Structure 1
Amino acid sequence: MLKLEKLKVGVICYPSLGGSGVVATELGKMMADRGHEMHYITSERPFRFLDAHPNIQFHEVKIDGYAVFKYPPYDIALANRIAHVIETEKLDLLHVHYAVPHAVSAALGKDMANSTIGVITTLHGTDVTILGHDPALRNTVRYGIHKSTITTTVSESLRQETLELIEPEKDLLTIYNFIDENKYRPVDAGKLKSELGIERHEKVIIHISNFRAVKRVPDIIESFRLVAKKANAKLLLVGDGPEKMAMEELVHDLGLQDNVIFTGKRDDLPELLAISNVMFLLSEKEAFGLVLLEAMACGVPSVATAIGGIPEVIEDSVNGFLVPLGDTALAAEKALQLLQDDKLYATFKENGFATVSDKFHSSTIVTQYEKLYYEVAGSQ
């Protein structure tokens, strides 16, 4: 019976910033703390592996260029590496983050190794909400799901969208995202506020993202512009991405350059949240919204769009505010409410702490995954 044994788990994920990379690496570290061997099969070391862990190993996927290929075949290289690690490490199961290309590569690698190993695929959003709308890729996503032993989604909203859009022949299981509560908690930010050029009395609104169009950063800036008319405030735009330069131009065109601070990518998110009063997340697509949970754990209420999985994290008028997509005037109004009503703010803050603890605590979510790992490993 595998239930009392420690497992060897192969993990395939994107090693970069983003919700999927955060969850994949945090889950791996917590599983490793429970004694399981976690084998990461990626193109580079995942960004959250700052410290060595005796139960975590990294297996690099090397992508060689060949004249016969116009583009280096990452999915084939990944499949080869997966097959090799299955065989050499005697893995008990694979946990794959994203159906395309990872679940497809896992299926190929499994066949190459002539293995019956179980595969868990976790859908994080874009493999369904974006790729799933492309008829050429929809079948590929469906194939990845069908080749998986079990497929999970990070929210019930994503589960429903996947069932409707992809129409898989098997059901999906929702297991929510989580955060490391040891990192995301109220902390002392030291002199960070003054270092960023923010006066002691100024309120701070924060937005953290990868600056893609789907994040609707112009809506963030417009909402802040309306807030700044009635409150002495600064806007922190944390992150980087394809829209950043255009956003800098927009801020300049609106004459907000003295009130908006572009910080670039930062590792000190708990400290940045510690100097912030309100989080804005006004995306048009969001399978879960991990930054909302991070903000909540640090005592920062959010104003967010009522789309995707966000309403499963934010309970409107209880631990934050939900607004319709594109309603920048209402977003500004709700932010001002929080900035000007200390009693309401304190209530939202405490309710946020309770949400993190009661609904999304890491120990609960990791235990759900661990149980699933045993089920999948034991079924093969």
Structure 2
Amino acid sequence: MDSKTLRSEPSVLIITNMGPKPSAPFQGQFVTAQVTGLDAINPGYHFMRWHADSRLNRLLKYPVFLLDFIWRFILSRRTYSVVHVHFFYPTIWLALLYRLFRNPKAKIIVTCHGSDIYKYQSPGFWYRWCADKVQHWIFTSEALKNRFSLPCSPSTVLSAGIADSFARETPLELASKTIDLLYVGSLDFNKGIDRLIGLLPALTTKKIVIAGAGPWLSKLQQAAAPFPNVSILGPQTASELAGLYRKARCFISVSRHESFGLVMAEAMACHTPVVATYTDGAAAQIQQGVNGYLVAQHSESNSNSQTEQQVLAGLLAALEQLWQLPAAGYQHMQLEARAWAEQCLVSDVVSKLICLYPKV
């Protein structure tokens, strides 16, 4: 890209309230990956740099986040014409402050990731007032967009993006896989760790690997102690995750709510099929019997909600169905999973954002 092209590009400031912390050292890394991919337009980037698990941090992290933003960007000489907010509320307030004090003509783009919509199903006055100030909306899935109860035109559906390095992993044939079941992600109630615990007694003959951290870690460790077939790892780097995905016969997602679920896309990029509970994110990615299996669960929009025992039974049935596939059928599912994940690569996401910014 030559200097003339660079001068014609809008100046972009990216803001997110996500950031790494001890219990989630890779939190928000998908936003960082987008920023890195956008290096050619040299975007500004503000994330929650002071982020921990202490009570003091929970009380003061947003005031510090705001003061840090004022110092770094409102008092800065550099001016941005586009402010891209990741996670709508309350992060949007920083974008509105920037427009008020630095550039009244700045355009605001918002990427909604899930709980910034799920937690505001009956949006209050200030949520609605802020939403009215947005010029363009991005949703990580079509289903998430449909859950948004306010006007959101114009809008785009776009994955948050997974590292291109996952797509460089060569596939392992079924006989060479050494992990029967892999889980990667936060260890909390919404991610369904209680469900994962509930599956353990029925899977004593399977090699299970769980990678992640979160508030349910001690409960998981206690529940898994009687099962030598279960390995619990801490948070992993992208290269370490790629190795795990590649070795796994199946990746599992047991979330109650999921707007997209990048770990499912990462697994599929490494030629690993997925079994998942039905969420917005899983439904957007999994084609039943093609690149994985979906299992029904409770949903606000589903009158045929499943009990937890039915969810566990459905998960076990789907896992057995996948594990019993012949080598040729499993290989076909691997290839379908890999082909689908192409559209989630961060390079593809970044190219679409570069086209979107000037239009806004």
- Report the TM range for the smaller structure's normalisation: 0.7 to 0.9
The aligned runs of 1:201-350 (5 Å cut-off) are 203-228=179-204, 232-252=205-225, 255-256=226-227, 258-267=228-237, 268-325=240-297, 326=308, 327-341=311-325, 342-350=327-335
Return the match for 1:15 from 19, 22, 30. 19
1:251 Cα deviation after fit: 2.4
Question: Aligned with 1:312: secondary structure?
Answer: helix
Question: Aligned with 1:152: secondary structure?
Answer: strand
Kindly tell me: are residues 302 and 363 of structure 1, through their superposed partners in 2, closer, same or farther at Cα, counting changes over 3 Å?
A: same
Check whether the contact 1:202–1:234 (CA below 8 A) recurs between aligned residues: yes
Tell me which residue corresponds to 1:37.
42
The aligned runs of 1:176-191 (5 Å cut-off) are 176-186=159-169
Identical pairs, percent: 21
Check whether the contact 1:319–1:351 (CA below 8 A) recurs between aligned residues: yes
1:361 Cα deviation after fit: 4.2
1:188 Cα deviation after fit: 9.5
1:309 Cα deviation after fit: 2.3
Alpha-carbon distance in structure 1 between the residues aligned to 2:345 and 2:102: 37
Question: Aligned with 1:315: secondary structure?
Answer: coil
1:20 Cα deviation after fit: 7.5
Kindly tell me: are residues 215 and 201 of structure 1, through their superposed partners in 2, closer, same or farther at Cα, counting changes over 3 Å?
A: closer
Check whether the contact 2:108–2:134 (CA below 8 A) recurs between aligned residues: yes
Q: TM-score, normalised by structure 1?
A: 0.78
Alpha-carbon distance in structure 2 between the residues aligned to 1:45 and 1:350: 41
1:365 Cα deviation after fit: 2.5
Q: TM-score, normalised by structure 2?
A: 0.82
Question: Aligned with 1:89: secondary structure?
Answer: coil
Q: Per-residue displacement from partner, 1:173-224 (whole Å, max 9, x unpaired)?
A: 32223212224442599xxxxxxxxxx8854311111112101112123234
Tell me which residue corresponds to 1:5.
8
Alpha-carbon distance in structure 1 between the residues aligned to 2:171 and 2:292: 23
Alpha-carbon distance in structure 2 between the residues aligned to 1:220 and 1:248: 12
Check whether the contact 1:11–1:40 (CA below 8 A) recurs between aligned residues: yes
Tell me which residue corresponds to 1:26.
33
Tell me which residue corresponds to 2:132.
146
Pairwise CA RMSD = 2.9
The residue type paired with residue 284 of structure 2 is: E
The aligned runs of 1:45-194 (5 Å cut-off) are 71=60, 73-74=63-64, 76-81=66-71, 83-84=73-74, 87-130=76-119, 132-133=120-121, 138-163=124-149, 167-168=150-151, 170=153, 172-186=155-169
Check whether the contact 1:75–1:101 (CA below 8 A) recurs between aligned residues: no
1:301 Cα deviation after fit: 0.6
Tell me which residue corresponds to 1:197.
none
The residue type paired with residue 260 of structure 2 is: F
Alpha-carbon distance in structure 1 between the residues aligned to 2:124 and 2:248: 40
Q: Per-residue displacement from partner, 1:131-169 (whole Å, max 9, x unpaired)?
A: x14x5x644433332222212111111101113xxx247
Question: Aligned with 2:190: secondary structure?
Answer: helix
Kindly tell me: are residues 28 and 120 of structure 1, through their superposed partners in 2, closer, same or farther at Cα, counting changes over 3 Å?
A: same
1:126 Cα deviation after fit: 1.0
1:90 Cα deviation after fit: 2.2
Kindly tell me: are residues 4 and 336 of structure 1, through their superposed partners in 2, closer, same or farther at Cα, counting changes over 3 Å?
A: farther
Q: Per-residue displacement from partner, 1:93-134 (whole Å, max 9, x unpaired)?
A: 11110112211121022212253111111100011112x14x
The residue type paired with residue 352 of structure 1 is: A
1:88 Cα deviation after fit: 1.5
1:276 Cα deviation after fit: 1.4
Alpha-carbon distance in structure 2 between the residues aligned to 1:289 and 1:169: 22
Alpha-carbon distance in structure 1 between the residues aligned to 2:242 and 2:189: 25
Kindly tell me: are residues 265 and 366 of structure 1, through their superposed partners in 2, closer, same or farther at Cα, counting changes over 3 Å?
A: same
Check whether the contact 2:6–2:41 (CA below 8 A) recurs between aligned residues: no
The residue type paired with residue 189 of structure 2 is: A
